[in-house]
Amino acid sequence: MFALLLAVSPAHATELVWQGYYRARAVGFDSLSLSTTNANAEGFSSTIDHRLLLRPSWLVSDHAAIRAEVDVMKLSLWGETPDTYLDPVTGEQTAEASTDGVSNVSTGAGVRGWGEVYSSWGRIALGRMPLNWGAGLLWNDGNAVDAEYGDTADRLQVSGTVGPVFVMGAWDVQVEGFAGADDDMQSVSFAAGYRSETVGIGMLNNYRYRPEGDETDDPYDAYTGDIWAFAELGAVRAELEGVAVVGGGSLGNGADDVTVTAFGVMAKADYKGEKFGFGAEFGVATGDDDPSDKALTTFSFDRDHNVGLFLFEEPMPTLAAAVATEGNEGRTTEASRSGDGVQNAIYFRPAVRYQITQQLQAEGAWLVAGRADSAGTNEADEGYGNEFDVSLRWDPHPHVWFQGTVGAFLPGPLYSSYTDDDLGKGFDAAAVGARLTGAVEF
């Protein structure tokens, strides 16, 4: 594919176009343990991380391009990789607080790269590329400034238009096993839709499968359907995405003959006036009333679909580890009742905004959530709780912005009624936190 792109138009010089951003982010919480009485509560915690996303595109000609995304220092903490010096006595490389700076080794870089060929009927893309669809409920490329993960696939994709309708077909390989063995998890996708500046609607169909052959007796297949739509009417914008997954088979590790039936839906509307604005988001992700059986019904939103400062963003309760190591960073999430993604939840998030000046905007939001399925317990004990956040965003120059958010989380019965045999109880204390983000985009 690379050779094809370079040979398409050797008479033309390659044009290089750059996009991306640098982001620095500091967060602090007191306390994600949701407890002042538990013996394992960790108290105040804070981190500073940064990320540099580079997105170069080599435009070989009017008919071909090579694109890449280089994620440098992804989720890297400041000072995470200390530099070392050679101990003159032992002859060993030693990392100590007295060492100057940090090492450029193990910066957590991730790379995507793919080629594209264009013709009068459409586009062919081949390589390791980002996945994105609709509002990002199912597939999210993770390129937003507040994103952390991103979905990536090794795929062959063909796309084009038929009149006003956009169509796309693709084939992916998810898991590569032994060479020549029929154990690769693969998928085929087909999408069709229509989109203009003010309205859009589309449907994504994905069939994921592991074929049964001589080398494996663990077949698996699942169908995923995703409908997405949006509309803009002046200052009002509305968006809807719904996903359903149906399938079954073997998931490995002894999970054989399972069935999968799950769905999720998200709807939001937003009004943007000259000074005031307001909006609301509602979401449902199915859960499982019996996690021990083979009927799996839990749906998880993509982890980069962020809704709060605490809820579905930070594992809670997070406790101090019995023995602090570099691997656990002194923390344990063994008692966590929620993690970094919406699953088994019904949530509602209204928000109001005010444009203080041309460069300064304030927002206040309330997030309330409960479980979608009670998991065999008292339904009255299944509320996640309430979160209140206030944000202030400052855009001093084009492509440069800073945003600060402070929030408070009041845990519901899901946490306060929970007891862990090893890690105890008492997860009923309010938590407060803050996040400061600065970014330069290009």
Query: Which pLDDT does position 9 carry in this prediction?
Result: 47
Distance CA 130, CA 106 (A): 22
Yes or no: say if 437 and 22 are a contact pair by the CB < 8 Å rule: no
Residue 424: C-alpha distances to residues 35, 335, 420 (Å): 11, 9, 5
User: Taking Cα atoms as reference points, which of 123, 81, 116, 112 lies closest to residue 99?
Assistant: 81
Residues in the chain: 442
CATH architecture of 2-80+112-441: Beta Barrel (2.40)
Q: 329 Cβ partners below 8 Å, 6+ apart?
A: none
| pLDDT of 250 above 90 | no
> Three-class SS of residue 118?
strand
> Three-class SS of residue 391?
strand
Lowest-confidence region among 115-124, 304-313, 315-324, 362-371: 315-324
Tell me the pLDDT tens digit for each residue of 289-313.
887 788 999 999 999 999 999 999 9
Query: Which pLDDT does position 289 carry in this prediction?
Result: 81
| pLDDT of 363 above 50 | yes
Q: 399 Cβ partners below 8 Å, 6+ apart?
A: 440, 441, 442
Query: Which pLDDT does position 422 carry in this prediction?
Result: 84
Query: Which pLDDT does position 83 carry in this prediction?
Result: 72
Distance CA 184, CA 144 (A): 31
User: Taking Cα atoms as reference points, which of 168, 160, 202, 203 lies closest to residue 188?
Assistant: 168
Percent of residues, the chain, with pLDDT higher than 70: 87
| pLDDT of 237 above 80 | yes
Which has more pLDDT, 203 or 289? 203
276-285 vs 295-296, strand pairing mode: unpaired
| pLDDT of 207 above 70 | yes
Tell me the pLDDT tens digit for each residue of 252-294.
666 778 899 999 999 999 999 999 999 999 999 999 888 778 8
| pLDDT of 176 above 70 | no
Which has more pLDDT, 89 or 409? 409
